[in-house]
Chain A
């Protein structure tokens, strides 16, 4: 019985995604099943639709910037937290992971009003900062664990041999937790790449990420081009997730 329920649940979770990919190969202008001829017509159309190209470029850029910023800041913070006698360590860690508890809608509303007030509305930097906040909890948790697992004796040895702390960080610590850094970055990238709820509240007309482009296109009309561009999104997500799994990291980030 448990096997049946597990199988059904998996099927239900994958069904909408599989159907979107399947539908994207229809030669027709509307969604009818079954169709016997497969065509790449809607992929050609999607790839020549400027809104989707721009949206894709923006989403990728945003995810890369937000992921990199979050991972660098979180790495430094986690290093400080694991290596120095700081007061209120637990409180700091709890603060850095607390955005998990703030609903995306709430943070989106706050961000909308904030970026308008300080003049960052419709600017990439505002969007990047907001995404950094959203992905930071995952980055800090992954890197805190990764750094705690790096033997401090190695760092002491390097410094005893005369390496300045920053060189020691670059030559010893970073390589030793490269695994954690890569997993954290990939996960943050993916999270930012697929963020919808917060972004839709705060973003300006010049900064429509791909999911939001798809959303506004859908409120206008629905044709298989939506399915084609969605399939490309699924493909990107799947590639990154597979990289994450091969790096053995999915479980680590999601503990």
Chain B
């Protein structure tokens, strides 16, 4: 028996070694770095401090965090509103078309975010396609400010991270027994009531799981806020980039990383609780 285990471990070992070396060690190292002070000579590994974490409470940084949370929450809320109609519609399409519809909804996710954000900048600029079109039909007199602010980031992130909610929800909706809808109908339920009392409770875990991932992706998106947010709309990921690669303050940079990771894991834990929550 133990020889079988040993052989089994032999198969698992290569991946385990790669992951220990290139995943666990870097994260552990960053955690250690966040507990050392930064000096002009580099990281002072001999002394320990919590000052890097204390610095996070500076209004300079809490403002950035609040803005990031606001943007992420808005994106997730818009996504939650839009995702049900889409998932319900997709679950009703013929099975032979489904792979191609998945393709259409997933392929934007597989095109890199720099290219997509560049595309959004062409659409949202002052003289971009959206403003030109609105002016051409005389809906507006002067260009709307659609980018270099939070609006631009939100517009790009909603479709950018839509898939993370759509796919789990789609599976959940497709798994609903059609007889339930029918049964609710014969009992006189209106469409809204069917949604409220049948579809929503069944798909709730999938919705919550998807939204948590969506929210985390929003919190840590880089290219969209960097390209569409401009210098004044600083978010956490861009701040982390400046601290780590421009100011080269790695202890503070890793404090940001550790705090962000802790927040993410807490959110995932909360999401798991919320997913099984029943009124």
Count of interface residues, chain B, beta-carbon cutoff 8 Å: 87
Interfacial chain A residues near B129, Cβ < 8 Å: 19, 33
Tell me how far the C-beta of A231 lies from the nearest C-beta in chain B, rounded to whole angstroms.
Answer: 9
Given contacts A76-B15, A109-B253, A251-B102, contact A214 B264 (CB under 8 A): no
B47 near A: Cβ within 8 Å? no
5 contacts between A and B (CB under 8 A): A13-B162, A103-B264, A113-B244, A197-B221, A215-B227
Interfacial chain B residues near A221, Cβ < 8 Å: none
Interfacial chain B residues near A96, Cβ < 8 Å: 15, 19
A113, B33: Cβ atoms under 8 Å? Answer: yes
Interface of B is mostly: helix
A19-B123, A140-B15, A197-B220 are known; give 5 further A-B pairs, CB within 8 A: A5-B82, A105-B237, A133-B22, A196-B113, A245-B103
A80, B11: Cβ atoms under 8 Å? Answer: yes
Tell me how far the C-beta of B88 lies from the nearest C-beta in chain A, rounded to whole angstroms.
Answer: 5
B30, A109: Cβ atoms under 8 Å? Answer: yes
Cross-chain contact of B222 among A194, A200, A248, A251 (Cβ < 8 A): A200
A101, B254: Cβ atoms under 8 Å? Answer: no
Interface of A is mostly: helix
Given contacts A99-B23, A110-B26, A113-B26, contact A226 B118 (CB under 8 A): yes
- Bitwise, B1-15 to A at CB < 8 A (1) or not (0) is 100110111111011
CA distance A77 to B11 in the complex (A): 5
Given contacts A2-B88, A17-B115, A73-B18, contact A10 B103 (CB under 8 A): no
Nearest 7 pairs between A and B by C-beta?
A84-B8, A16-B119, A80-B11, A114-B26, A103-B220, A194-B112, A129-B22
Tell me how far the C-beta of A23 lies from the nearest C-beta in chain B, rounded to whole angstroms.
Answer: 6
